[in-house]
Amino acid sequence: MNPPTVRVVYLTDTAEAHPRAADVRPLPVQAQVPLPLLAAIGERLAASTARMQEEAAKARPSESPCASVVDELARLERFGLQLQELAQVAARAQQLRHESVDLGLALLQTVAEWSAEADRLGVELHGPACSEPVHANPAALKHLLDLMVEHALQQGRAVRLEVEVPASGTAVSVVVTVSSEPASQSPERETQAWMTLQWFARALGLAPVREVVARGERLTFSLPRI
């Protein structure tokens, strides 16, 4: 029996007639934010606020904010900056400048930047040892890789980033393998990072694939080969 493929179904955007509708330029369809993603972002913000309130309630009035609250605030700040940058890149997706990028090096840099978070979560994170040029926008590629790793770290105990080069063809694939030991209780769950990745990739004209496999999952997307 083949493993199931997880697919995200987006709600159709609708809008009521508005007197000033003619004055508003709608976003391109590929850049519109799906409603499930907005709900996931709200859930993440609410959960972070609840954690900080819980920690603050434990502290005495004379005490300074505890380290966990400071760390949570730092994560929220990074999250806000990430959303801002993603929106800016997605809004000008058609005007992005593409150039030659070493995909292997980009993956290694991503592993280095996420190693501290992986250690905090107790997840092994590994990267490739290769050099493969692709045609991409460096900023957009970085956001794609960050979102893939962010999702993967929430799903398993070991994460490996690889470059898959076919014997023939004009595309190179980024492959992220997630190993869940013990197996995840809900491997099909939609993380906020994955939903954000789906939206951002769609704005860039890419189609990442997420497959649930035995004891984990496999994420892939392809880039033009040079």
Q: Give 72-117 pLDDT, tens digit per residue.
A: 777 777 777 777 777 878 878 888 999 999 999 999 999 999 999 9
Q: Side chain identity at 141, as an amino acid letter? A: L
Q: Would the pLDDT of 125 be above 60?
A: yes
Please report whether residue 12 resides in a domain.
no
> Pick the residue with more confidence: 116 or 184?
116
Q: Would the pLDDT of 140 be above 80?
A: yes
Please report whether residue 4 resides in a domain.
no
> Pick the residue with more confidence: 12 or 84?
84
Token pair 């990739």 is found at: 201
For residues 101 and 201, membership in a common domain is answered with yes
Please report whether residue 60 resides in a domain.
yes
For residues 58 and 115, membership in a common domain is answered with no
Where is average pLDDT lowest: 47-56, 128-137, 174-183? 47-56
For residues 73 and 115, membership in a common domain is answered with no
Looking at residues 185-211, what average pLDDT do you find? 83
For residues 154 and 106, membership in a common domain is answered with yes
pLDDT of 44 reads 72
Please report whether residue 9 resides in a domain.
no
User: Residue 65 belongs to what domain range?
Assistant: 31-91
Q: Are 98 and 137 in contact (CB under 8 A)?
A: yes
For residues 43 and 145, membership in a common domain is answered with no
For residues 217 and 169, membership in a common domain is answered with yes
Q: Give 31's DSSP letter.
A: G
Distance CA 17, CA 35 (A): 19
Please report whether residue 15 resides in a domain.
no
What token pair was written down for 51? Answer: 């954690």
Distance CA 188, CA 190 (A): 6
Q: For 201-223, how does the pLDDT look when each residue is reduced to its tens digit (9 = 90+)?
A: 888 889 999 998 888 899 999 99
Beta strand spans in the chain (E): 5-6, 99-102, 124-126, 133-136, 158-164, 171-179, 209-213, 216-224
For residues 112 and 181, membership in a common domain is answered with yes
Distance CA 190, CA 197 (A): 11
For residues 213 and 135, membership in a common domain is answered with yes
Backbone angles phi, psi at 5, to 5 degrees: -100, 130
For residues 73 and 102, membership in a common domain is answered with no
pLDDT of 153 reads 94
For the whole model, what pTM was predicted? 0.69
CATH of residue 166? 3.30.565.10
Please report whether residue 117 resides in a domain.
yes
HSE-up (13 A, CA, CB side) for residue 189: 13
For residues 67 and 105, membership in a common domain is answered with no
Q: Side chain identity at 61, as an amino acid letter? A: P
Q: Are 155 and 217 in contact (CB under 8 A)?
A: yes
For residues 149 and 174, membership in a common domain is answered with yes
* Residue where a domain stops, chosen among 64, 91, 118: 91
Please report whether residue 79 resides in a domain.
yes
Where is average pLDDT lowest: 37-46, 118-127, 144-153? 37-46
The number of beta carbons lying within 10 Å of the beta carbon of residue 79 is 16
Structural domain total, the chain: 2
> Pick the residue with more confidence: 51 or 119?
119
Q: Would the pLDDT of 160 be above 80?
A: yes
Looking at residues 10-33, what average pLDDT do you find? 43
Looking at residues 177-197, what average pLDDT do you find? 76
Q: Would the pLDDT of 28 be above 60?
A: no
For residues 123 and 197, membership in a common domain is answered with yes
Q: Are 224 and 168 in contact (CB under 8 A)?
A: no
Distance CA 178, CA 216 (A): 5
